Amino acid sequence: MAEVTEALRRQMREELPEVASIQDAGLRERVVEAWALAIARSSWRSIRDIPPAGNPGQMLLTRGDQTDHIRGVTRLAMRMAEEMAASNPDMPIRHDIVVAGGLCHDIGKPWEFDPENRRRWEAAPRATGLPSIRHPAYGVHLCLLAGLPEEVAHIAGAHSGEGELVVRSLESTVVHLADIGWWTMALAGGIVKPETISAKYRRPISL
C-alpha cells in the first residue's frame, strides 16, 4: 500500500479537473484526499489505468479510460442540476454536493477492479465473496475515511442498485440519473463493446 503524497494529490487534481468547480475549499481538498487514498490503497498508479467499464468486465467502452466516465457523469450531473435549479429557484439543490458526489460516485472502483483483489476473490469466492465488497460500499468507506460529509458518502453508496434500498437525496438522484443516462447513451451511441453489455441494459430490440 502506497502513501498519500503531495504528488499523488496533484495528480488527482489533474486527472479530475472538475474538482476545481467545487466552491468550498475544504470539500474540494477532501475529494482530492479520498481519490488519493483510493489509488494509494490499490495496485493502480492512476485513475487513467482503470478500464472504462461499469463493473469489472461489463459495459466496457471501446475507447478511453475510467476518468472519461467519472468526468462525463460529473459534468452531466452539473448540467442537469443547473437546469433544474434555473427553472425551479426554490429547489434546494446543492451545487458542491452534486460535483463532489459525481466525482466520488465510483471512487470504490480502484478496489473492485484491482487485478490483485480479483485474483484473490476468484480463487476462493466462497471464502472471500466475489467481490468481497462492491464499489458503492467500498466507496462509502473511502469517503468517510477522507472526512467527506455523509451527503457525498450517500451518493457513492446509493448511485447504483444499492440505492434502490434507500430514499435517495436530491443530489444523489441527480448523480444516479446522470450515471444511468451516461451508460444508456454510451450504449445507444455504439461505444460499448457488445459482448460486455450487462443484462439490465439489454432490450428485446437493441437500444
Structural contact between residues 35 and 16, judged by C-beta atoms closer than 8 angstroms: yes
Q: Helix H segments across the chain?
A: 6-15, 25-40, 66-87, 95-104, 109-112, 115-123, 125-128, 135-145, 150-158, 170-188
CB of 52 to Fe ion, least distance (A): 10
CB of 182 to Fe ion, least distance (A): 7
Nearest-10 Cα torsion for 94, 95, 97, 99? 160
Which burial class, exposed, middle or buried, applies to 128 when counting CB atoms under 10 A from its CB (0-12, 13-18, 19+)? middle
CB of 90 to Fe ion, least distance (A): 29
Out of 37, 179, 186, 201, point to the residue binding Fe ion (CB under 5 A). Answer: 179
- Which residue number, 120 or 168, has a Cβ lying nearer to Fe ion? 168
Question: Would you say how long the chain is, in residues?
Answer: 207
Which residue bears the cell 500500500? 1
CB of 25 to Fe ion, least distance (A): 26
Number of residues that bind Fe ion (CB under 5 A): 2
Residues 99-118, one symbol each (x = binds Fe ion by CB under 5 A, - = not), give: -------x------------
Identify the CA nearest to 130 among candidates 115, 114, 117: 117
Longest Cα–Cα distance of the chain, Å, equals 53
Within 8 A by CB and 6+ apart from 37, the residues are: 4, 142, 145, 146
Within 8 A by CB and 6+ apart from 82, the residues are: none
- Which residue number, 22 or 50, has a Cβ lying nearer to Fe ion? 50
- Which residue number, 24 or 68, has a Cβ lying nearer to Fe ion? 68
- Which residue number, 24 or 162, has a Cβ lying nearer to Fe ion? 162
18 in contact with Fe ion (CB under 5 A)? no
- Which residue number, 4 or 111, has a Cβ lying nearer to Fe ion? 111
Which residue bears the cell 483510493? 38
Enumerate binding residues for Fe ion (CB under 5 A).
Answer: 106, 179
